[in-house]
Amino acid sequence: MANVVVVGAQWGDEGKGKIVDWLSERADIVVRFQGGHNAGHTLVIDGVTYKLSLMPSGVVRPNKLGVIGNGVVIDPWALIDEIAKLKTQGIQVDRSRLRIAENATLILPLHRELDQLREAAAGTGKIGTTGRGIGPAYEDKVGRRAIRVQDLKNLDTLGPKVDRILVHHNALRRGLGQPEIVKDELMRQLVDVAPKILPYMDCTWDLLDRERRAGKRILFEGAQGVLLDVDHGTYPFVTSSNTVAAQAATGSGMGPGQIGYVLGIAKAYTTRVGSGPFPTELTDDIGERIGQRGHEFGTVTGRKRRCGWFDACLVRQVAKVAGIDGIALTKLDVLDGLDEIKVCIGYTLDGERIDRLPAGHNAQARVEPVYKTFEGWKGSTAGARSWSQLPAEAVKYVRTIEELIERPVTLLSTSPERNDTILVKDPFED
């Protein structure tokens, strides 16, 4: 049995939450390995909608263990709020359902404030962050001054660590014309939140190793998408963590040899939130129609997503750098009823044909898509659970995408409902 990693194969918002939840029925443990509460996963189960940010998607299923790994940055107050909201929906989150890595970095109020101050100061040059403090928290982690979950266990020795982080942040705040952070107030906040978080703390790398050796199936849940990877994405309009499948090993404490199958999630079209290049973006009525039919608004921020045609050139590139074995194609039903559908098969850059997105953001902004045009379909794909229920033109569209991205479609999602999924290959059966 293979352990499976799920990553977004575009700019995030590909429908990972539903796919991870669908796969979690076959898994024993679901692990988040990067990002923070800037990620948003929407699950629709028996007509009930669950909106998750930090929590692993499998948490809504009984008898599944969710793990927040060391690669995640955790806002403890946001986590407490999310647990409380799930409780109102009948989901009781206790230690049997959730464990948090003792060496995970905490997002503090000062990180949120710095994130928002920087974005406001950047004006037209802003990155388009969610303002949740993700980037500044990762900066402190790399700068070796972060407060981690395990630090909450030893409050008597926390003072010098707070001093160290405040030396850095108060210097930044003075430069931005902001009042300094008062140490006593930050200490009070940490003392208050500690007993609410510590019951979930564990040595999760050891836990995962024991469960793996016991034969348990582990599902690794990525956040955002590979095109937002800090190394391989459309830099600088990216997130502050690595979103490729290799991060599942680093961000959980399991060796890369324990990853069996990498499943990439891609929409049948493309969306993006925030700033940055988007070669196939549609700013016409078709783009508006796709956005309305696909309910393309951010789970976390509510921001309207930019919409465009499927970019096979980009997804093929992502499949290579992320080590994707197969694709779960989502939201095919959003394209129902269009007279024609286009797919980007390459680009031109300053008049020259290229087959990849260049690394420089100035060049990325200048590329022009080269399209292949398909006949649309009039029949409905919504709710289909077998290939025979799909219009012939829709099947042709999916098969051509497989050829263009050089990866098979192993799952096809035809609605937000968990069971409206066509399974071609079970990723857990390696």
Catalytic residues: 13, 41
Distance CA 77, CA 196 (A): 9
Distance CA 402, CA 409 (A): 6
Token code pair at residue 182: 């008062």
Residue 264 Cα to chain centre, angstroms: 11
Residue in this structure with the two tokens 């949120």, named with its chain if needed: 112
- Cα R_g (the chain), whole angstroms: 22
Q: Which residues pair with 191 in a beta bridge?
A: none
At 407, is the secondary structure helix, strand, or coil?
coil
Contact of 297 with 303, CB cutoff 8 Å: yes
Contact of 318 with 312, CB cutoff 8 Å: no
Contact of 67 with 204, CB cutoff 8 Å: yes
Concatenating the DSSP letter of every residue in 57-114 gives GGGGSTT-EEEE-TTBEE-HHHHHHHHHHHHHTT----TTTEEEETTPEEP-HHHHHH
267: closest CA among 237, 321, 308, 229? 308
Contact of 35 with 291, CB cutoff 8 Å: no
- Residue 249: CB atoms within 10 A of its CB come to 18
Distance CA 365, CA 125 (A): 14
Mode of pairing for the β-strands spanning 73-74 and 326-330:
unpaired
Q: What is the largest CA-CA distance in the chain?
A: 68
Distance CA 75, CA 210 (A): 28
